[in-house]
């Protein structure tokens, strides 16, 4: 027989064990049930948004994860590969920050294969580009002023542009012909220039100003350059009249045709137009700067060739670091920056500045972070290709894992912020989700192509839980349903587990 003392001890132990199973698990179970009920309610809300008739027959992929754990909280066809449009830049941007680093800069050099004797440079002058998209007119002015300070008045040789850092393929494989003259379809060269501090490399700005009714409008090109020829087929009409300005560069050369009507006393029109062969554009700006400081070129002033390996550097310029460039890149979804980063990664890793080698680097980075790169199709860096493909769940997975990267603050800080009107903060989301729970909260990359739109990024719930989300809407008819993206993001910002 078991002594009464041992029976008492066994009874107490049993009571203790039962108390554990009867208290803490019950509370945890209740919490879990409440958690599941909240997620079910959220799923019902999001499913209702996606029943919008504009999405009938369209392809939809939505994924929501906990940013802390990576747990999938909601998925709607999140495994289906869809075209991400400019959310392709999330993949390229992450790879660039990892491979090149946030402190990486692009270099531009002025070199010679000759020597300076008195006021004369006996030899050729080379302008060598290495991918910098931030060169402005004032930078070429500084190059020229630097040469003048070295005492150079005459160049007894040729003025040479060297863009051999990258290959000579100017447009990505799937670029649509009707995007070719716009800033969205900019040509990519290792030697290029930008018209202003948005750094839309390889473009000029064409402004149209009304004059008097019945007369052509006044046109201005920024920066001033003879590299493009403007054909003015415009007319100023009476105040309140029709406004229908078209600005297109003709294929194969730099004839920009401006036509249509602009009302008297109305707002001016401004359009960014890509140039044909940006290498020559940069060279033309440099030539103008040399002329302004009085430096004469006795040889050919329009030569394209590689710089000799033993050439002597005269002036070197480093661009802003990648961490600063990421602001205009992501905030304004700059296509040229994305393609330049792709080619630069190919050059740095494989010594080949091409799309194929650069995209190989991006793919390898994604694989190194646990994404199934074989299920992701990369055709360019900007997202202009309709053949880029990725599933929504892979985008939220990427957004989750990059939080552990040492450069995450740069990545996160470059994303547009919903409803914030300041241009360098709100970016492409500055006019969206104003006066909602998402304003100042949602940080996300936008994307837009014909019949395709996307929004992917980060949001914090009403009770303080950070989430990653990806919304991909493809093959809809009619106008873009971006308001549905906004509604989903707002629902996430309003959501609470409590």
Residues in the chain, total: 498
Candidate list 63, 181, 323, 333, residue with the active-site label? 333
Q: Given CA atoms 310, 314, 320, 326 in this order, what sign does their dihedral have? A: negative
Candidate list 89, 343, 347, 393, residue with the active-site label? 89
Parallel/antiparallel/unpaired status of strands 159-162 and 255-263: unpaired
Dist CA 314 CA 128 (whole Å): 11
Dist CA 238 CA 236 (whole Å): 7
φ/ψ of residue 123, rounded to 5: 145, 180
Dist CA 441 CA 64 (whole Å): 16
Distances (CA, A) of 134 to 103, 123, 411: 15, 28, 19
Candidate list 86, 363, 414, 454, residue with the active-site label? 86
What tokens does 125 get?
């002058």
Dist CA 186 CA 362 (whole Å): 21
What tokens does 221 get?
């090109």
* Residue 200 · residue 289 · CB < 8 Å: no
Q: What's the distance, Cα to Cα, between the start and end of the chain in Å?
A: 54
Listed residue (378, 384, 455) closest to 416, CA to CA: 455
Please say if 496 is a catalytic residue.
Answer: no
What tokens does 434 get?
């104003």
φ/ψ of residue 236, rounded to 5: -85, 130
Angle between helix 335-350 and 88-99 (nearest 10): 40
Dist CA 19 CA 28 (whole Å): 14
CA atoms within 13 A on the CB side of 162: 20
Parallel/antiparallel/unpaired status of strands 255-263 and 229-237: parallel
* Residue 230 · residue 256 · CB < 8 Å: yes
Please say if 89 is a catalytic residue.
Answer: yes
Dist CA 325 CA 104 (whole Å): 10
Listed residue (295, 9, 339, 289) closest to 174, CA to CA: 339
Region at 282 (left for phi over 0; alpha for psi -120 to 50; beta for the rest): alpha
Active-site positions?
86, 89, 333
């Amino acid at each position: 027989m078991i002594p009464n003392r041992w029976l008492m001890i066994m009874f107490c132990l049993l009571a203790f064990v039962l108390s554990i199973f009867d208290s803490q698990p019950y509370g945890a179970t209740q919490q879990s049930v409440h958690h599941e009920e909240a997620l079910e309610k959220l799923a019902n809300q999001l499913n209702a948004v996606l029943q919008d008739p504009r999405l009938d027959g369209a392809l939809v992929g939505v994924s929501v994860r906990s940013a802390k754990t990576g747990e999938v909280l909601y998925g709607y066809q999140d495994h289906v590969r869809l075209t991400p449009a400019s959310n392709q830049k999330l993949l390229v941007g992450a790879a660039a920050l990892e491979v090149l680093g946030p402190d990486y800069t692009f270099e531009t050099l002025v070199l010679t294969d000759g020597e300076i004797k008195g006021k004369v440079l006996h030899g050729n002058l080379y302008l060598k580009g290495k991918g910098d998209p931030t060169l402005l007119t004032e930078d070429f002015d500084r190059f020229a002023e630097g040469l003048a300070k070295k005492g150079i008045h005459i160049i007894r040789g040729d003025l040479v542009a060297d863009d051999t850092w990258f290959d000579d393929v100017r447009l990505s494989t799937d670029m649509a012909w009707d995007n070719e003259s716009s800033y969205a379809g900019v040509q990519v060269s290792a030697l290029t220039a930008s018209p202003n501090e948005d750094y839309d490399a390889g473009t000029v700005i064409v402004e149209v100003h009304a004059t008097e009714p019945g007369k052509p409008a006044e046109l201005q090109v920024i920066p001033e350059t003879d590299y493009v020829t403007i054909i003015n087929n415009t007319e100023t009409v009476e105040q309140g009249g029709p406004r229908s300005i078209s600005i297109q560069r003709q294929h194969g050369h730099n004839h920009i045709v401006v036509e249509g009507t602009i009302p008297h006393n109305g707002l001016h029109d401004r359009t960014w137009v890509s140039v044909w062969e940006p290498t020559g554009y940069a060279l033309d700006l440099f030539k103008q700067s040399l002329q302004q400081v009085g430096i004469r070129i006795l040889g050919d002033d329009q030569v394209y060739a590689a710089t000799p390996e033993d050439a002597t550097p005269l002036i070197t310029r480093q661009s802003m670091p990648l961490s600063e460039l990421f602001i205009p890149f992501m905030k304004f979804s700059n296509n040229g920056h994305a393609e330049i980063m792709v080619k630069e990664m190919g050059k740095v890793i494989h010594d080949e500045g091409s799309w194929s080698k650069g995209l190989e680097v991006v793919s390898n980075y994604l694989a190194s972070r646990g994404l199934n790169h074989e299920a992701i199709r990369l055709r360019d860096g900007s997202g202009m290709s309709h053949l880029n493909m990725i599933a929504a769940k892979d985008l939220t997975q990427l957004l989750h894992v990059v939080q552990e990267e040492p450069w995450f603050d740069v990545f996160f800080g470059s994303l547009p912020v919903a409803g914030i009107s300041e241009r360098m903060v709100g970016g492409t989301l500055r006019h969206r989700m104003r006066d909602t729970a998402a304003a100042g909260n949602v940080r996300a990359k936008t994307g837009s192509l014909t019949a395709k739109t996307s929004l992917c990024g980060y949001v914090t719930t009403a009770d303080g839980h950070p989430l990653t989300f990806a919304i991909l809407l493809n093959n809809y008819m009619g106008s873009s349903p971006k308001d549905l993206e906004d509604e989903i993001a707002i629902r996430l910002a309003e959501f609470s587990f409590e």
